[in-house]
């Protein structure tokens, strides 16, 4: 969302990521429908098509690096197919084709969304995605919970990826992503935490653990292992971003590594360190290396005054609550 006064949000994110040495995919979002099914979007976050497309192209030209080992890339990300017009979805797809970038949106997180698509457009959500020219391997979708069998086959045939958000899905009681059926159909599956509105700690390693537990509850203990959950969060997520230079530890890959200590009491006696990371709940990283450089040491990010950041955040949050 681009509220008035935050038109340079992409630039702020890109600059801060570069300062911290983070590898990032910026998602230039869009919202151009003010009233949809009785839900009225605040006027100050709705933008005109020309503004959206012009700024999307500006961000792509300035920040989208397609080279191997790129630190910053850009994806175009309308909020949801039903929050923007069909015309804007198609224009966005054409822009992504021209600049060779990824496409991202949220789809069928709720059953009501799938039913809305059928009632308003007389088609399934995947058929509507096809109308938008988004049914391609360039696309990855958040959630993807309420697809039927035929839709899953179509997603797999076109290589559309799904970002499974187990923690958010449980908090909102949205439903269960059909990860095993999706992978069996050839759909790339990765992991995400979703936004802070539905996940209060945004901890991807915790979501790895939740993915394991939720999917075992759905498919059985033998069907999903800790290695599957870790794979979704690493190699699977890299596939969603269209990258083959990150996501695995192997010769020729980028040196992006997270290190966890197993010296707490809860890890005592663990026979398999990878299983211990997931099953015992390793939620706090000790060190992080990005592109061969240490960016987190002793659990703290380099170049960040955490105490000052928390104080500023709490102050802003209090002012926001007082102004509501």
Q: What is the mean pLDDT of residues 148-164?
A: 98
Q: 59 forms bridges with which residues in the sheet?
A: none
Q: Is 43 a residue whose pLDDT tops 90?
A: no
Cα–Cα separations (whole angstroms), residue 228 to 156, 190, 216, 312, 317:
18, 10, 11, 39, 38
Which of 81, 125, 124 lies closest to 103, judged by CA?
A: 81
Tokens representing residue 284 in the block: 């706090």
pLDDT tier at 319 (50, 70, 90 boundaries)?
Answer: very high
Tokens representing residue 183 in the block: 């992978």
Tens-digit pLDDT profile for residues 216-266: 999 999 999 999 999 999 999 999 999 999 999 999 999 999 999 999 999
- 153 touches 160 (CB < 8 A): no
- 234 touches 248 (CB < 8 A): yes
Residue 196, domain CATH? 3.20.20.140
- 278 touches 226 (CB < 8 A): yes
Q: Is 10 a residue whose pLDDT tops 60?
A: yes
Give yes or no: residues 215 and 278 share one domain: no
DSSP code at position 5: T
Query: For residue 288, what are the domain limits?
Result: 255-324
Tens-digit pLDDT profile for residues 281-299: 998 999 999 999 999 999 9
Give yes or no: residues 113 and 244 share one domain: yes
User: Considering the entire predicted model, what is its pTM?
Assistant: 0.94
pLDDT tier at 93 (50, 70, 90 boundaries)?
Answer: very high
Give yes or no: residues 116 and 32 share one domain: no
Q: Is 40 a residue whose pLDDT tops 70?
A: no
Q: What is the mean pLDDT of residues 24-29?
A: 97
User: How far apart, in whole angstroms, are the C-alpha atoms of residue 274 and residue 18?
Assistant: 31
Give yes or no: residues 68 and 176 share one domain: no
Q: Reading across the β-sheet that carries 287-290, which strands appear in turn? A: 257-259, 287-290, 293-297, 300-301
* Number of separate domains in the chain: 3
Tokens representing residue 47 in the block: 């933008």
Q: Which of 77, 101, 125 is the last residue of a domain?
A: 101
Give yes or no: residues 92 and 167 share one domain: no
Instruction: For residue 211, count other CB atoms closer than 10 A to its CB.
Output: 27
Question: Across all residues in the chain, what is the average pLDDT?
Answer: 95
| Lowest-confidence region among 38-42, 142-146, 244-248 | 38-42
Give yes or no: residues 145 and 79 share one domain: no
Tokens representing residue 286 in the block: 């000790």
Distance from first CA to last CA of the chain, Å, rounded? 19
């Amino acid at each position: 969302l681009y509220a008035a006064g935050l038109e340079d949000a992409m630039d702020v994110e890109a600059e801060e990521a570069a300062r911290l040495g983070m590898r990032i995919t910026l998602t230039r979002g869009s919202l151009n429908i003010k009233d949809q099914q009785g839900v009225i979007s605040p006027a100050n976050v709705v933008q005109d098509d020309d503004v959206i497309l012009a700024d999307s192209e500006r961000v792509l030209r300035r920040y989208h690096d397609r080279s191997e080992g790129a630190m910053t890339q850009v994806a175009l990300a309308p909020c949801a197919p039903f929050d923007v017009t069909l015309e804007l979805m198609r224009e966005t797809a054409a822009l992504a084709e021209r600049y060779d970038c990824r496409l991202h949106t949220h789809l069928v997180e709720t059953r009501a969304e799938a039913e809305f698509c059928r009632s308003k457009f007389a088609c399934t959500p995947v058929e509507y995605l096809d109308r938008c020219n988004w049914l391609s391997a360039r696309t990855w979708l958040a959630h993807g919970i309420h697809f039927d069998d035929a839709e899953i086959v179509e997603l797999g045939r076109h290589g559309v990826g799904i970002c499974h958000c187990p923690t958010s899905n449980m908090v909102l009681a949205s439903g269960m992503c059909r990860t095993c059926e999706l992978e069996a159909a050839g759909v790339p599956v990765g992991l995400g935490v979703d936004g802070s509105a539905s996940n209060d700690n945004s901890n991807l390693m915790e979501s790895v653990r939740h993915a394991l537990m939720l999917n075992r509850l759905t498919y059985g203990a033998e069907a999903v292992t800790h290695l599957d959950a870790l794979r979704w969060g690493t190699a699977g997520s890299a596939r969603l971003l269209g990258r083959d230079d990150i996501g695995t530890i192997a010769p020729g890959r980028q040196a992006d590594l997270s290190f966890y200590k197993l010296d707490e009491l809860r890890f005592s006696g663990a026979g398999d360190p990878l299983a211990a990371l997931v099953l015992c709940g390793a939620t706090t990283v000790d060190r992080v290396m990005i592109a061969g450089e240490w960016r987190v040491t002793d659990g703290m990010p380099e170049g960040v005054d955490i105490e000052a950041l928390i104080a500023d955040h709490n102050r802003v949050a209090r002012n926001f609550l007082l102004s509501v």
